[in-house]
Amino acid sequence: MCTKGERNVDLFNDLVVSGVKTVIVMASDMGLAFDEHCTLEQKCLQIAQQSGMRVLGPNSLGILLLGRTLMLHFLL
């Protein structure tokens, strides 16, 4: 997922409904407040934990598996 942080709470909920089990997050502004109790990152993590979804990120550069010749990354 490569988005602005403000979109991610809704997107995480959509991913849960769709049955997604793993997500790579490349998002900006995840440290901003979701509400008076938590940040966007904390809220997304809460959603992921409740559903059993695994999360890599935010601010991940992706995954590199040299033995499998697999490289999933984000370039600017």
* Per-residue pLDDT reduced to its tens digit, 18-72: 999 999 888 878 999 999 999 999 999 999 999 999 998 887 666 666 776 666 6
Instruction: Provide the pLDDT for residue 3.
Output: 84
Task: Give residue for tokens 């997050």.
Answer: 25
Instruction: Provide the pLDDT for residue 59.
Output: 72
Instruction: Provide the pLDDT for residue 46.
Output: 97
Q: Can you give the pTM of this predicted structure?
A: 0.79
Higher pLDDT residue, 12 or 3? Answer: 12
HEC assignment per residue over 5-48: HHHHHHHHHHHHHHCCCEEECEEECCCCECCCCCEHHHHHHHHH
